[in-house]
């Protein structure tokens, strides 16, 4: 799980970090997140507004109404906010947690319908393929950009891509295994109930 904790959650620090790039509205941040860090962080659109309020209350950011008909609050870092980001960047990180519901279903597959599990996995595989394509697209864009941060962004992207590839390869392997089991199960008549003793 987590370990450090200054007083702000990781998501809030990331929110603040985006303001290192310059002032932006909550909506801007949400949009930027979606195309830049989606492979390792995400937030519901409603959340960025709540984060903005929280961080405003805490004095980490300040706001300024933007001119124009459209109501738009431009957020920027206060000195306190900037210190918070810097401190965060210099401290250890919590360890990643993997939450993977599909793995849980495979784990308990002996108690379920293998064909359904197979369908679910195929769905997951499709998702990983499209994620991979998206990340490759981001990579193309990044490689064209000229900016001192790009090398770091590419580094993180490399992991995103590698993980997707790992997941796809894994899914293919498991899919093959499942097919074999399904076929052999069909050959030998209806499947057996698998409720043997454990532990």
Binding mask 13-32 for DNA (x = CB under 7 A): ------------xxxx--x-
CA-wise closest residue to 6 among 77, 78, 89:
89
Beta bridge partners of 62: 76
What whole-number distance in Å separates Cα of residue 175 and Cα of residue 186? 16
What whole-number distance in Å separates Cα of residue 114 and Cα of residue 106? 9
Judged on CB neighbours under 10 Å (0-12, 13-18, 19+), 106 is buried
Q: If binding is defined by CB under 7 A, does position 91 make contact with DNA?
A: no
What whole-number distance in Å separates Cα of residue 165 and Cα of residue 182? 25
Instruction: Work out what residue 56 binds among DNA, a second copy, none; the CB cut-off runs from 5 to 8 Å by kind.
Output: none
- Measured from the CB atom, the residue of 11 and 58 that comes closer to a second copy is 11
Q: If binding is defined by CB under 8 A, does position 162 make contact with a second copy?
A: yes
Q: How far is the CB of 26 from DNA (least distance, A)?
A: 5
Task: Please give the residues from 28 up to 87 whose contact with a second copy meets the rule CB under 8 A.
Answer: 36-37, 39-42, 44, 85-86
Q: If binding is defined by CB under 7 A, does position 72 make contact with DNA?
A: yes
Q: If binding is defined by CB under 7 A, does position 42 make contact with DNA?
A: yes
Q: If binding is defined by CB under 8 A, does position 166 make contact with a second copy?
A: yes
Beta bridge partners of 61: 77
* Binding region for DNA (CB under 7 A): 1-2, 8-12, 25-28, 31, 42-47, 49-54, 68-73, 97
């Amino acid at each position: 799980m987590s370990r450090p904790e200054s007083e702000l959650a990781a998501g809030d620090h990331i929110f603040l970090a985006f303001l290192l790039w310059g002032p932006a509205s909550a909506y801007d941040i949400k949009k930027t997140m979606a195309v830049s860090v989606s492979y390792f962080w995400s937030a519901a659109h409603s959340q960025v507004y709540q984060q903005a309020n929280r961080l405003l209350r805490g004095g980490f950011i300040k706001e300024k109404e933007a001119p124009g008909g459209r109501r738009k609050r431009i957020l920027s870092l206060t000195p306190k906010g900037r210190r918070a980001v810097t401190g965060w960047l210099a401290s250890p990180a919590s360890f990643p947690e993997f939450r993977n519901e599909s793995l849980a279903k495979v784990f308990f597959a002996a108690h379920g319908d293998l064909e359904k599990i197979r369908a679910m996995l195929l769905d997951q595989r499709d998702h990983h393929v499209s994620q991979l394509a998206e990340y490759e697209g981001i990579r193309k864009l990044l490689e064209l950009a000229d900016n001192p941060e790009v090398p770091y962004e590419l580094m993180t992207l490399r992991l995103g891509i590698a993980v997707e590839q790992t997941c796809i390869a894994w899914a293919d392997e498991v899919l093959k295994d499942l097919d074999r089991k399904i076929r052999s199960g069909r050959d030998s008549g209806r499947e057996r109930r698998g409720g043997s003793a454990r532990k």
